[in-house]
């Protein structure tokens, strides 16, 4: 089938490449000439395991093309994916200007029937807006509705996770198709046939339900995490061990083990944005979502936890606001391992590391940071500042630092040489936002260890 994808961001590029790899002809359109030039040279704008070889192969074999020519793109595919960004605007609502601009572009150039597919995460009701935009433009272009090319707007949310986007996209748990048109359903089924082998993964529903499914999924996952972080905070206060609690509750298959890992808060491009956007949608229709507001509030305070541990370590009598106001950490250097919001990505959007570093800088500390993939991203975000050292190795980040904070659970952080670590750090102190190490082992090694929801037991 011939497919056009508008927006070569994370979702658009992965989806386009995987569809081409399954044999479809895919034309990817983006307004960013530089991005298109790079893709044509085989330079991928994001770090995603396994993606670049798929892009290269399908580009070389001619099934995957890249262009800034929107008119060409509209005429290329009967299926038109909208996969542009929906950044939060000032009040946290999803900003639809890019989505509606693509809808307008499609309507301006289309001369044959099209299925327009919302792939971006968009609030409930967006398909109606896309529909209205296309109808308005077609009404301007054509005198009678009979002479207009036909179109149908489909909601087809993506559920891919950064770091495993290629396999999520190749082997989806489910393929949600929101449509009220049998014709559109039929074409969508044909498109996804290569991914619907072995057992039925396609779930067809009405458009609004499909739009809400995406938010409900992400908000449920964010809720699990914030719930668990709240349990961790309670565990700390009562002297329980959240890791044991996690195993205890995860073994109940109704709860399950996934997304109940406590930590220093969820980040990334989806959970924070989608929770906020659904809160806004609810508020706008006069329904106050108390759970989602609490999920957001817990996550906000959880991202401050690492800084609070540092304050507790040095100034147990001060609250963290006072540490900032007095610049009490002046002269201290903090090693930070992990800048990305999670492993296997270079993405630092809404990452807990950023909240930590901002507080450290406000309190007068310097940071020596290392991440296996995000060093360029950190350079792009922070530029050159004399209170940030972007170090080439995890050991270099420790060298001469006063303590270590772990923000991301990269595999390469999980079994460090603790003796070497102690010789490099000024003090043997680790603040661990991802519970990588055994609490008793840290005690044996003489390392002061702060982690989430765990208290060291007194040893005999
Ligand atoms: C998420 C959804 O999983 C995906 O289905 C959707 O399409 C996009 O949003 P992503 O943002 O890539 O994917 O990352 P994910 O692996 O879900 O992690 C999100 C955040 O939650 C990370 O910061 C991670 O560290 C945190 N997390 C995850 C926890 O703190 N605890 C957990 O148990 C799981």
Degrees to nearest 5, angle at CA 27 with 22 and 33: 135
Q: Using an 8 Å Cβ cutoff, are 216 and 189 in contact?
A: no
DSSP, res 167:
H
Calpha distance 233→255 (Å, rounded): 20
User: Does residue 117 surpass a pLDDT of 80?
Assistant: yes
Tens digits of residue pLDDT in 334-350: 999 999 999 999 999 99
User: Does residue 456 surpass a pLDDT of 70?
Assistant: no
DSSP, res 83:
-
Structure tokens that stand for 146 in this block:
């009979």
Stretch 27-42: mean pLDDT: 95
Is residue 27 part of the annotated active site? The answer reads no
Strands 114-118 and 151-155: parallel
Ligand 1 atom nearest to 408, measured from its CA: 25
Ligand 1, residues 11, 257, 266: which to mutate, most atoms within 8 A of Cβ?
266
Percent of the chain with pLDDT over 90: 92
Residue with the bigger pLDDT between 92 and 46: it is 46
Ligand 1, residues 263, 274, 298, 410: which to mutate, most atoms within 8 A of Cβ?
263
Note the ipTM here: 0.94
Ligand 1 atom nearest to 268, measured from its CA: 11
pTM above 0.90, yes or no: yes
What residues does ligand 1 touch, defined as CB less than 6 Å away? 158-162, 218, 221, 225, 259-261, 263, 266-268, 270-271, 341-342
Ligand 1 centroid from CA 162, angstroms: 8
Calpha distance 404→425 (Å, rounded): 8
Ligand 1 atom nearest to 342, measured from its CA: 25
Q: Which of 219, 270, 311, 407 is catalytic?
A: 270
How far from chain centre, in Å, is Cα 310? 27
Phi, psi of 448 (to 5 degrees): -75, 120
Q: Using an 8 Å Cβ cutoff, are 277 and 270 in contact?
A: no
Calpha distance 196→79 (Å, rounded): 18
pLDDT of residue 89: 83
Ligand 1 atom nearest to 265, measured from its CA: 30
pLDDT of residue 90: 83
Calpha distance 224→91 (Å, rounded): 24
Complete domains list, the chain, with CATH: 2-205 (3.40.50.720), 216-299 (1.10.1040.10), 303-451 (3.40.50.720)
Closest Cα to atom 14 of ligand 1: 161
DSSP, res 387:
T
Q: Using an 8 Å Cβ cutoff, are 94 and 19 in contact?
A: no
H or E element, residue 370: strand 366-370
The string of DSSP codes covering 201-258 is -EEEE-HHHHHHHHHHHHHHHHHHHHHHHHHHHHHHHHT--HHHHHHHHHTSTTT-ST
């Amino acid at each position: 089938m011939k497919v056009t994808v508008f927006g070569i961001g994370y979702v658009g590029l992965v989806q386009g490449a995987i569809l081409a790899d399954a044999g479809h002809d895919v034309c990817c359109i983006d307004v960013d000439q530089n991005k298109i030039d790079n893709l044509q040279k085989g330079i991928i704008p994001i770090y995603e395991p396994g993606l670049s070889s798929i892009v290269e192969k399908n580009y070389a074999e001619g099934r995957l093309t890249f262009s800034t020519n929107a008119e060409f793109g509209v005429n290329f595919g009967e299926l038109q994916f909208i996969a542009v960004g929906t950044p939060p605007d000032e009040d946290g609502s999803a900003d639809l200007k890019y989505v509606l601009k693509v809808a307008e572009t499609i309507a301006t150039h289309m001369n044959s029937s099209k299925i327009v597919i919302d792939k971006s995460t968009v609030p409930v009701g967006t398909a109606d807006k896309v529909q209205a935009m296309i109808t308005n433009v077609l009404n301007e272009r054509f005198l009678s509705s009979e002479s207009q090319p036909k179109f149908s707007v489909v909601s087809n949310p993506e559920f891919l996770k950064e770091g495993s986007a290629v396999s999520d996209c190749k082997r989806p748990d489910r393929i949600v198709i929101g449509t009220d048109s049998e014709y559109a359903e039929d074409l969508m089924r044909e498109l996804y046939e290569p991914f619907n082998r072995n057992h039925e993964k396609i779930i067809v529903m009405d458009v609004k339900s499909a739009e809400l499914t995406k938010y409900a999924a992400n908000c449920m996952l964010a809720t699990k995490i914030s719930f668990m972080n709240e349990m961790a905070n309670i565990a700390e206060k009562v002297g329980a061990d959240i890791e044991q609690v996690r195993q205890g509750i995860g073994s109940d298959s109704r709860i399950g083990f996934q997304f109940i890992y406590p930590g220093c808060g969820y980040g990334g491009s989806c959970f924070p944005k989608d929770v906020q956007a659904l809160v806004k949608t609810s508020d706008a229709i006069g329904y106050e979502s108390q759970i989602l507001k609490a999920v957001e509030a817990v996550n906000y305070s959880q991202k401050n936890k690492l800084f609070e541990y540092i304050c507790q370590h040095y100034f147990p009598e001060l609250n963290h606001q006072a540490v900032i106001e007095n610049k009490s950490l002046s002269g201290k250097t903090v090693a930070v391992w992990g800048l990305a919001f999670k492993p296997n990505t270079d993405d630092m959007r809404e990452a807990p590391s950023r909240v930590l570093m901002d507080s450290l800088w406000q309190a007068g500390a310097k940071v020596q940071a290392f991440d296996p993939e995000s060093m360029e991203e950190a350079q792009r975000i922070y530029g050159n500042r004399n209170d940030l050292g972007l170090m080439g190795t995890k050991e270099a980040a420790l060298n001469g630092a006063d303590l270590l904070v772990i923000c991301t659970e990269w595999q390469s952080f999980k079994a460090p040489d603790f003796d070497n670590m102690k010789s490099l750090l000024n003090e043997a102190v680790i603040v661990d936002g991802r519970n990588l190490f055994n609490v008793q082992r840290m005690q044996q090694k003489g390392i002061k260890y702060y982690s989430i929801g765990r208290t060291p037991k007194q040893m005999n």
